[in-house]
Each structure stands twice: as C-alpha cells, then as structure tokens.
A and B are shown apart, each in its own frame.
Chain A
Amino acid sequence: MTNSKDEIKNIPLKEKLILTFEENSEKLLGKKTSHISKIKQKAFENFKKIGFPDPKSQAWKNTDLSEVLSKDYEQLFNFSTEGTNVEELFQCDIHNFDTHIVSLLNGWYVNPSEQITKMPDGTIVGSLAKATEEYPELIEKYFGKAQNKNNNFTELNTAFSQDGIFIFVPDGVEVLKPIQMVSIINHEKNLLVNHRNLIILGKNSKLTFVQCDDAINHQTSFTNTVTEFFLEENSNLDHYKLQNLNNNSSLLNSTYFKQEKDSNLSTNSIILNGGIIRNNYHVNLDGEGCNSEIYGVYLMDRKQHVDNQVYVDHAKPNCTSSQLFKGILDEQASGVFNGHVLVRRDAQKTSAFQTNRNILLTNEASIDTQPFLEIYADDVKCSHGATVGQLDEEAMFYLRSRGIGEKNARMLLMYAYAAEIIEKISIEALQLRIDDMVKKRLRGELSVCDKCVLHCSKPDKEISFDIDMSKV
C-alpha cells in the first residue's frame, strides 16, 4: 500500500506543477489581497497536499491516467495567438442556428474587439479574467462556491486557471439567443490547459448554453476544465456539451451545478471522440422544487475511453432528478459510468431516477457501470437500472426480413438507440446538426474533422441511410 502512495507522490508532473506555480505565482494569483487570490492560494496548498488521485481509489480505478500524467506538458501563462489564424479558426456557423459565440483558444478568451460585452438587457458575456477586474462583487459572491472540496483536479484547476468564460444573466432576463462556447486546443507542443468558466443565472432567468470542446490538430493535450453554474430561484438552464477531440487528447470536464428553489436544469452531453474523456457532473439540489435532467450519449471506438461520473445531491425536499446515459462501444473502446444519487435525511418526496444502457459491439470493448443510490429519507421514489447488451436480435431479424442489408440494419438500430437522447435536444437546429453528426459518426465518417465539427457549415453531402427511413 505504502509503495503505491509513494509512487503517486513522486509523479514528476506534480513536482513540476508545484515549481511552475511558485515561479509564476505573480501571474497566477494577481493582486495578493484579492478574494480570488486567496482562494487560489488555498487551492494550491491543498493540491500540494493531496496531489493526483490514487489510481486504486474507487473513483479512479477504472480510468487509468498514469500515461496522461507521465507526459511532459507545457503551460501557457500568457495569451498569444501566435501561429494561429484566429479569424479562420472560429468561423462557426450552423445552419439556422443563430448563436452568440464566445471562444477559447488554448484556454484563453479570444475576441479581437472586446474582452467583455454587456448586452442591452444587462446580460454580461466575456472573459473571466476581465470580469474579475470589472465585476469583482459578482465574482466574489459566486467563484468557488459550487465546487467540490478536495477534488484533486478541481483544486489543480482553481490554482492554475487564469481565464475562461463568464456569463451573468440578470434577474428576470430570458436570453433568447443561445450562447455557444467553443474551446479549441491548437499548439505545437504537448499542452496542459486549465480553464475555468463561471455562469450565473439570476432569479426567473433563462439561458441556453452550448459548450463545445474540440482539438484541431493531433498534438497531445490535457485539458482540465471546471465550470460552475449557479441557478438562482426559478431560473432555467438548457445546457449542451459537445465533445469531439482527437485520440491524443485527454479531457477532464467538471461541471458543478448549484440549484436554488424551483430552478430547472437540463444538461445533455454528446460525446463523439476523444482519447480519454472524463466528465464529472455534480448537481446540488439546494432548494425545494428543483428539477434536473441529466442526459448523455457516448459513441466510442478505437482505444478511446469515456468516463461519466454523475453525483446528484438531493439536499432539500420535493425535488426530482433523472439521469439517462446511453453508450455504444466499438473496437477496443472502454466506458465507465458512475452515477450516485444521495438523498439526504430531510429530502422527503424526492423522485430520483437513474438509467445507464450500453451496447458492446466487440469482445475487446468493455464497460464498467456503477449506478449507486444512497438514501436516508423514507418518503422517496428512487430507482435505477443498468444494462449491458447487444443490438436486439429480433429487431435485426425483422429489418433483415424486410430486405434491409445487415450493415444498414445495424446502423438503423444504433441510430434509433442513440436517438432517444438526441430527441431531448430542444433547439431544433442543434438537434438536426447533432443528429447528422451522430449518423456520420455511426458510419465512421466523422473522425475528428480538420476543423471544429461545428464549422462544417455545409456538410459535403447530406447524410442519410441508404433506405428511406420514413417508409420503414
């Protein structure tokens, strides 16, 4: 036992990070006296103490980070667009999908004109670094308040993050245009990125937020991102996560949602490619009458690894939560699902549902699923289910008996399987786009595009199955 712990402590990356932090502390901490600076200093001290997680621990035993952590990474402490044509990189355009786009390049906010925008309705969108200067009272009130204490990678992020997206929706404002965040990694060397987002929804407000993580070259990168969402009373957040990275990229995406009374959350993750992807969802239902819907679909192949960790904390009565994660694992891909629903002692009248379904297509693919329920209140309705299986033989036979080729029939069934999640996307344009991407993905045509997936403004050809689905 002691041996393995020593090994963890001796991971050079940790030592290196500690040194880098100390060398660059001025840049990282900013004004020594500020509130944020204190939080960061504390997070750094804590990271120094706890380091990287024990690979044998329950939370990490199924996701092996040893290779990721053994690599040598560069960190960028200053923003530069050197070697990148920013204009060309961020020409995002989805048909009929009018969004307000905010972009991150290697973890830094990119906008040639202004760092922070205040819209007529009072909504603030922009760089977190800039917001810290301009709206310190907002940042102080919220920054670091939703995150988990003692999470190794969150502490690392808190200590090292310098920039990210900041969104503030004032009370009573409905943001009509979805805000889309595009985070792109483009660097010639191995890169470690710690960026941080803070999204605040005031009372009775409404926001649609699309979060895209992409890598545009094939360099190794390790992204450790933390996003904190605050949903004040009766607010409504529609959140989408699109992940399409190259096989050398590792992405650790932690999202913390803190929900107040009667707030509504719907989060939808579409995971299409990536070397190692780990998504942490931490939902804290901290007011009565909250509702959370947490959905995800993952389609992995080659040696890709996906890990979804969902933690729903029912702290107050009369809340509902539902989780649905579906995955298809092909070739040597591996998947992990760990759902944990905690119903605290006084959280009576809670309804919590949790489902994880998986399809394994080869003998080399593997899945670990752990749907946990931890319940301390008696007047609750909780259920969970997990299945691992294959495409339905009978359905397959049905299709084939009607003259549909095996390959097509398989594709159809897989598509139908994934469609359950895609149908939950409420923005029509986005739904069509993702639908298209999933079809492409299933046909093996969507590896990582040279550009961000959402860039393909006009798909070279309309993707449809060889048969007319409406007649099936």
Chain B
Amino acid sequence: MAKDKDKIIDKVTGDDYKYGFYTDIETETIPPGLNEDIIRLISKKKNEPEFLLEFRLKAYRHFLKLQEPKWAHLKYPPVNLQDIIYYAAPKKQKEFDSLDEVDPELLDTFNKLGISLEEQKQLSGVAVDAIVDSVSVKTTFQDTLSKHGIIFCSFSEAVQNHPDLIKKYMAKVVPYTDNYYAALNSAVFTDGSFCYIPKGVRCPIELSTYFRINAAKTGQFERTLIIADEGSYVSYLEGCTAPQRDENQLHAAIVEIIVMNDAEVKYSTVQNWYPGNKKGKGGIYNFVTKRALCKGKNSKVSWTQVETGSAVTWKYPACVLKGDNSVGEFYSVAVTNNYQQADTGTKMIHIGKNTKSTIISKGISAGKSNNSYRGLVKVAKKAENSRNYSQCDSLLLGDKCGAHTFPHINTNNKSSIVEHEATTSKISEEQLFYCNQRGISTESAIGLIVNGYAKEVLNKLPMEFAVEAQKLLQITLEGSVG
C-alpha cells in the first residue's frame, strides 16, 4: 500500500513542463554585460527623459555597494550578472493599432500558452498587456479603458505619455535602496505595465499582464506600477512562462502598488516560469520585490499568488498599511517539485490605526524540493487596535523534500492582536483510506486532497485565473487533480 502510494506520488509529481517551447521571432538584443554604458544604451533605446536615466545611474551606483542577500533558505550557484543580456525585444516596425498587425508567430505563441489575445478580447473581457522579453508587445482594450479615464499601458509608453505620473509615483514604495535585486532592477529595468485608476472609477474589466521570457541568455527586469486613486477598484492579473533551457535565467522584477483613500486593489499572480528539468538543471531564478502601500484611509490590498514555476523563488509581496482602517491580505499556494526551491511569504507592516491583515499560505513540496514560508508581521506603536491572523500550512509529498516555516512577529503596542498558526503534515493514511473505501482510486484521492488543501486560496482568484491555476496545479503535480 505504502509502496503503491509512493509510486503514484512519483507519477503525479513527475509531469513535464508544457510551456517550454521556444518561438523563433526576430529579436533585437544588445551585447551582454552590466555597466553604465549598457544602462545609458537601454535608456537611449527607450528614448527616456533625463530624470529616468539619472534614477537608473543612481540605482546602479548604489547597487555596486550591495551584496547578494544570503539569508534565504536557498542554495544556488551565483549568478554572473555580466553574462546577462539586459535588453532583448521582438523586432517591430511600428506601434500596433490592431491585432492583425501583430507578428503572427507572436500571436501563435500566446495562443499556445492559452492566452489568446484575440479570444480574450472577445470572450472574457480581460485587458491584456503582453510582455515578451524586455518589452511590451501589445496591450488590448486600451480604447475601452480610456473611456473611463483608466490608463493601462506598458511602462515605456507611460514614460513617454505620462512622465509626471511616473516621476511622482515611481520608486516611492520600493526605493532603489531597498535591496540588492530592487537596486539591480531600478538600474536596468526595460519595461512593465503601468496602470492608473482615476478617482471613483471601478475598473469594469480585469487587467492582466502576461510575461514571457523568450530569447536565450536574457534576464527579464520589469516594473509594474499600479495607482488606485480615491474610491477606485481594480483587479489585476499577472502570469508568466518561459522556454525550457539548460541555463538559468534571471527574472528580477518590481511591483509597486499605491492605494489611496477607500480604494481597493486585488493583485493575482500565477507564476509558472520554467522550473528546470527533473535533475534540477536550468530554470528561472525568480527574485521579485512586490510591495503595496495602503496610503489612504480604508484602503485595501489583496495579494493572491499561485507559485508553481521557477527553479528558485525569492518573493515576499508586502503590504504597508499606513492609512487608518486599511486592510492587507495575502493568499498563497506554493508548489515545489523535483529540485525547485521556494522561499516565499509576505510582510505586513501595520502603521495606521485599526489596520487588519490576513495571511493564508499553503505550501506543497514534492520530489527533492524545498519550500519555505518566511513572513513578517510588524505592528508599530501607533497602530492601535490592529489585528493580524496568519495561517501557514505545509504538505509534504515524499520523504526527500523539505517544508519550512520562518515567521517573524514584532508587536509594539498593547491593543493589537496578532495570531500565527502553522502545521506541517503529509497526506494521512486515514484520509486516503476513507477515499479508497468509497471507491476513489489512490491517485484521484491524492488529487482531491491536494486540491481541497489549496482550495482556500484558489477560491480567492478571479474566475478567469482560477481555471488556469487549477490547470497549473495539475501540470505540476499530476494528470488528474481537479
């Protein structure tokens, strides 16, 4: 019985990566290397205003002073930043006005990924900003959105068309001094998405960015900036894939969210970068800094993430709850398999009065992988009556994987309540027996249990994404979860 189960777990955890193809598109790249000239070149290519170049150079000079962080529960060979190509873009002649003008190869790529730009437009009403390698190739639905006064475009476009907004808000939540990868990103970022929701507007459709690393030897360094003005609401989705390669590629992104009075932002991620092969070769290094600032009163931010990809993940979406009565939420499912390593979690910084935060984290480790939750809940002296509830569970599939929990709680006033709970266990024999007894095969039972375990988080995803996330769990863990 036990052997049987092991075999099935092996089988369900042994499926292949389905997005590992490479699209042959004409790509424009610059020579590899990291220095001030490269930064100037990127800035020039993107026709950036002076202030942005200065910002990049300042960040780069600061970056040189920093050392790679070593505190995470991760082991990987050092990344040689000089070998990376910092700018790679599908060649394009002009701005696209309609999808017909987009390179058919590219459209095909997105169709293969199940993100048909065309179809999405007709069926689900999701506005997509598709980013391949370093640049944004297409943003859909811009016209509809602009009727509401919503700005949703690539970061480069925003730099050209709304430099005042960029200047006002960029790097205000994640300054370039924040950490090693944030400094690197600030120096060499190439594109990303920009979104501004004006006062009182409830964004009628879901906004989505799709990231794809395609070219070899490149790194992807994008920046996303979302500003939700007073009383507005937006639901934002993010997805990522990459081709299968033996080398490790670096992805170091920054996401900044600013939420004003009474506004709400819901940010969902389905991360499925190439995780490397079964022997742990290749895969993406995913070192991301994500932070939301609840600047106004009664503001709300909700992070939902499904992490299934990447060889190494280093990611802690954070909420700075500065406005009184603001709310931060974090829901996460992180699945690691084979030799994947994930060190992920969240930070909840309570500064305003009556602020509330909820953390639900579910880790699933299989194969020889290591999955860590690392979190910080900090309650400042002035954050009276604030409340936090954290729950982090780990599920172990197989006896060679690891599941770790590293929560930090720091409380500095007497009226706040902070609670943390965590459990680690495997799928119990009793649960399996119960299912078997009712005629459910062991394989389906494992699927059922894993799915039920992650349900709490998957339920928080917008419908369009929930389907994709469930599919992903299937791919990562087996053929019949669902």
Contact = CB atoms under 8 A, between A and B. Distances in A.
Interface of A: 1, 58, 345, 348, 358, 360-390
B58 interface: no
B167 interface: no
A230 B252 CA distance: 49
Interface in B425-441: 425-426
B96 interface: no
Given A368-B408, A372-B405, A373-B403, 14 more contacts: A360-B413, A362-B414, A370-B407, A371-B405, A372-B407, A373-B424, A377-B399, A380-B424, A380-B426, A382-B425, A383-B422, A383-B424, A386-B418, A389-B419
Contact of B409 (A362, A370, A390): A370
Interface centre among A366, A385, A388, A389 (most CB of B within 10 A): A388
Nearest to A389: B417
B412 A384 contact: no
A363 B404 contact: no
Contacts of A366: 410-412
Given A368-B408, A370-B407, A372-B406, A383 B415 contact: no
Contact of A378 (B381, B422, B426): B426
A-B complex: 9 closest residue pairs judged by Cβ atoms: A378-B396, A388-B411, A388-B418, A382-B424, A373-B405, A366-B412, A389-B417, A386-B420, A363-B413
Contacts of A381: 424-425
Summarize A's interface: helix, strand, loop or mixed: strand
Contacts of A378: 396-399, 401, 426
Given A371-B407, A375-B396, A375-B403, A363 B417 contact: no
Nearest to A58: B71
Contacts of B401: 376, 378
Given A361-B414, A387-B417, A376 B425 contact: no
Contacts of A1: 67
A390 B417 contact: yes
Contact of A367 (B404, B410, B419, B425): B410
Contacts of B379: 388
A384 B400 contact: no
Contacts of B100: none
Given A370-B408, A371-B407, A385 B421 contact: yes
A390 B387 CA distance: 12
5 contacts: A363-B414, A375-B424, A376-B402, A386-B419, A390-B417
B122 interface: no
A384 B403 contact: no
Contacts of A387: 417-420
A3 B399 CA distance: 44
Interface centre among B406, B407, B415, B424 (most CB of A within 10 A): B424
Contact of A373 (B412, B415, B419, B422): B422
Contacts of A374: 73, 402, 404
Interface string B366-409: 00000000000001010000000000001011111111111111
Given A360-B411, A369-B409, A390-B415, A375 B426 contact: no
Contacts of B93: none
A330 to B, nearest CB: 10
B146 interface: no
A284 B420 CA distance: 26
Interface centre among A345, A373, A382 (most CB of B within 10 A): A373
B416 interface: yes
Interface residues on B, range: 35 or more
Contacts of A348: 399
B396 A383 contact: no
B422 A388 contact: no
A375 B400 CA distance: 10
A258 B73 CA distance: 26
B423 interface: yes
A372 B413 contact: no
Interface centre among A363, A378, A382, A387 (most CB of B within 10 A): A378
A381 B428 CA distance: 10
A424 to B, nearest CB: 22
Contact of B414 (A376, A385, A390): A390
Contacts of A379: 399, 426
Nearest to A383: B423
Contacts of A362: 414
A443 B398 CA distance: 53
A32 B348 CA distance: 56
A420 to B, nearest CB: 18
B226 to A, nearest CB: 32
Contacts of B416: 360, 388-389
A104 B414 CA distance: 39
Contact of A372 (B71, B396, B404, B418): B404
Contacts of B426: 378-380
A386 B405 contact: no
Contacts of B423: 382-383
A376 B394 CA distance: 12
Contacts of A365: 412, 414
A368 B381 CA distance: 13
A387 B409 CA distance: 9
Nearest to A390: B414
A320 B366 CA distance: 24
Nearest to B409: A369
A384 B420 CA distance: 8
Contacts of B408: 368-370
A366 B426 CA distance: 36
Nearest to B408: A370
Contacts of B71: 58
Contacts of B410: 366-369
Given A375-B394, A379-B399, A389-B417, A384 B405 contact: yes
B379 to A, nearest CB: 8
Contact of B420 (A361, A367, A371, A380): A371
B352 to A, nearest CB: 15
Contacts of B413: 360, 363
Contacts of B419: 385-387, 389
Contacts of B424: 373, 375, 380-383
Contacts of A380: 396, 424-426
Contact of A363 (B73, B399, B412): B412
A385 B399 contact: no
A363 B426 CA distance: 41
A379 to B, nearest CB: 6
A388 B420 CA distance: 9
A376 B73 CA distance: 13
A365 B415 CA distance: 11
A299 B193 CA distance: 52
B418 A375 contact: no
Contacts of A367: 409-411
B473 to A, nearest CB: 19
B336 to A, nearest CB: 13
Contact of B418 (A58, A345, A389): A389
Nearest to A340: B406
A364 B382 CA distance: 10
